[in-house]
Amino acid sequence: MYLSPDRSLVTPLSDPELALRREILVTGLFKYVAEIQELEDGYAFKFRRSGLLNRRIEDYLLFEGLHAPQLTFALIEESNEGALWLQVRGSVSAKAKATTGYVPNHPLMPSPA
């Protein structure tokens, strides 16, 4: 299963400037995605390490915190400089209404047991 261009946790922004800002933030961040796991109420994104990654995650979280209050976020770092995971969660209905995808062609992995 692949995350397609018509799936996302967030709804489109009506302001074209905000929509462009979101697209820039998401494109800059999600190019580091190594794996995506679908959760019951969202997604978990595993990132490859990069010097810019922390700043890009911070910018993304600040933006979405202002414009997508229906979402919750968790940043999980595995021990010994392991993987960095970003969980993005919302209600199951918010997930079902998602309309704009940002990370096409990444395989969705099953949720960890």
Look-up of token digits 């679908």:
38
Q: Let me know if 33 is exposed, middle or buried by CB neighbors in 10 A (0-12, 13-18, 19+).
A: middle
- Asked whether residue 96 carries a pLDDT value surpassing 60, the answer given is no
* 73 or 93, higher pLDDT: 73
Whole-number Å distance between alpha carbons of 109 and 39: 10
Strand order in the sheet with 42-47: 72-77, 84-89, 42-47, 33-39, 108-109
Q: Looking at the domain assignment, is residue 75 inside a domain?
A: yes
Q: Looking at the domain assignment, is residue 8 inside a domain?
A: no
Task: Specify whether the backbone of 81 is left (phi greater than 0), alpha (psi in -120 to 50) or beta.
Answer: left
The enclosing domain of 65 has a CATH number of: 3.30.1360
Q: Averaged over 51-74, what is the pLDDT?
A: 89
Q: Looking at the domain assignment, is residue 46 inside a domain?
A: yes
* 17-21, 97-101, 102-106: least confident range: 97-101
Q: Looking at the domain assignment, is residue 72 inside a domain?
A: yes
Contact by Cβ (8 Å): 7, 110: no
When divided into structural domains, the chain yields a total of: 1
Provide the whole-model pTM. 0.72
Report the pLDDT value the prediction gives residue 76, as an integer from 0 to 100: 92
Q: Show the domain range for 78.
A: 16-105
Q: Looking at the domain assignment, is residue 87 inside a domain?
A: yes
Q: Looking at the domain assignment, is residue 3 inside a domain?
A: no
Per-residue pLDDT band at 61 (split at 50, 70, 90): very high
